[in-house]
Amino acid sequence: MGKALIIGCGGVASVAIHKCCQNSEVFEEICIASRTVSKCDALKEKLQGTTKTKITTAQVDADNVEELVALIRKVQPDVVLNLALPYQDLHIMDACLETGVHYVDTANYEPEDTAKFEYKWQWAYKERYEKAGITALLGSGFDPGVTSVFSAYALKHYFDEINYIDILDCNAGDHGYPFATNFNPEINIREVSAKGSYWENAHWVETEPMEIKRVYDFPEIGEKDMYLLHHEEIESLALNIPGIKRIRFFMTFGESYLTHLRCLENVGMTSIEPIMYEGKEIIPLQFLKAVLPDPSSLGPRTKGKTNIGCIFTGKKDGVEKTIYIYNTCDHQECYKEVGSQAVAYTTGVPAMIGTMMLMTGTWQGPGVFNIEEFDPDPFMDALNKWGLPWKIKENPDLVD
């Protein structure tokens, strides 16, 4: 049916590429393009012969708009799927604009020198995308992504208005290392060491990092400590879910992770301020990334499950009700299927599905959209079909 250009070939991209290759009716052809082309070639080597999808590869610096434009003109994709880092979002959006090709990503733009998590830079493209007649689909991972689709689905089928959303992200996987991150370490540590915040009564409420702790008894996992974080989907859901009074995001962390993080912070290793080292400028956090385990190597060693979902409280026909929509995913089952752990899997599958929604024309409309703005039903069906089945629990335990 079409052709996708996938930019980036790390942990999340590897899963999305496996899934595109399983779905060769839609993905007749993919081009995998990244900074290190040998990684793209190795993945192509592994997958071709197992799929009808034609695979090509290319080297690209996604910070160079001219290079991106030349590549898009050469490949002529229907959609560009950005699975590089958030720093590249605007460059890739510029290149899509110049070439008139749809754009999909999984994480909002962050300037490299300040840890700021806001949609304002990407929303600023709305008018230009409308004029160009192309679609940008923002945040097609799990969170943001599936959690936002769960919100749209709950609103469509279960509520007249949703007043409270708690997004709960639990990773109960054990990789056996004292400290490792499940996706890009630099991006992960920027996110978890930032101040926390939540949306309440039309305002942001800011907290110190990890200041608010709760314990929750997760289905299929059990009790885990979780901490309130700022998370990007709060910003768009606050606009797109009418009647909302409060949205919070919690993520589970083990004691070992938190102790290591605190020590690394205390000695300045998580700083994004450049320092001079042996006559060369380095960024401590980027150096730390280089010595930590590569998340894409965690697949064989990670055991246990993830559980990510949302608890919604609102009103239907004047009566208050609460439901919990969630997915659980087993690290080792993911590894058996695609050679990756569940955090990469739960992001890569929705990245493929979002791309498919644009490629098939199931979702369309010129402009820049957060994922909850489209009809959730076809996406929810696709989650069941492509490896992330979800469940609904009525009257779940509440967070407080």
Contacting residues toward ligand NDP, per CB under 6 A: 8-13, 34-36, 39, 60-63, 83-86, 88, 106-107, 141-145, 183-184, 187, 295-296, 347
Shortest Å distance, C-beta 309 to ligand NDP: 13
State the nearest-atom distance from the C-beta of 400 to ligand NDP, in Å: 25
Nearer to ligand NDP, 8 or 396 (CB): 8
Chain position carrying tokens 């042996």: 278
CB of 358 to ligand NDP, least distance (A): 17
Nearest distance in Å: CB 206, ligand NDP: 22
User: Least distance to ligand NDP from the beta carbon of 108, Å?
Assistant: 9
Phi and psi torsions of 170, nearest 5°: -115, 120
**Percentages (nearest 5) of helix, strand, coil residues in the chain:** 40, 30, 35
Please report, for residues 63, 193, 263, 305, the alpha-carbon distance to residue 173 in angstroms, rounded to integers and kept in the order given. 34, 21, 22, 5
- Given the complex with ligand NDP, which of 214 and 289 has the nearer CB atom? 289
Q: What residue is closest to ligand NDP based on CB?
A: 10
CB of 135 to ligand NDP, least distance (A): 18
3-state secondary structure of 385: helix
270 contacts 193 by C-beta, under 8 angstroms? yes
88-120 in b/e form (b: 16+ CB < 10 A) is: bbbbbbbbbbebebbbbbbbbbbeeeebebebe
Is 34 or 151 the residue whose CB approaches ligand NDP more closely?
34
Closest contact distance (angstroms) between CB of 330 and ligand NDP is 17
- Is the C-alpha dihedral spanning 8, 12, 15, 19 positive or negative? negative
Specify the residue, 145 or 396, whose C-beta has the smaller distance to ligand NDP: 145
Nearer to ligand NDP, 80 or 132 (CB): 80
Which CB sits closer to ligand NDP, 63 or 130? 63
Burial class (CB in 10 A: 0-12, 13-18, 19+), 277: exposed
Closest CA to 298 of 25, 10, 79: 10
Helix or strand holding residue 382 (H, E): helix 376-385
Please identify, using beta-carbon distances, which residue of 75 and 107 lies nearer to ligand NDP: 107
Distances from the Cα of 398 to the Cαs of 164, 215, 220, 228, in angstroms?
11, 10, 16, 15
- Name which of 7, 143, 151, 16 is nearest 72 in CA terms: 7
Q: What is the DSSP letter of 299?
A: G
Could you give phi then psi for residue 167, rounded to 5 degrees?
-95, 125
Taking the least distance from each CB to ligand NDP, the nearer of 132 and 298 is 298
Please, what is the minimum distance in Å from the beta carbon of residue 88 to ligand NDP? 5
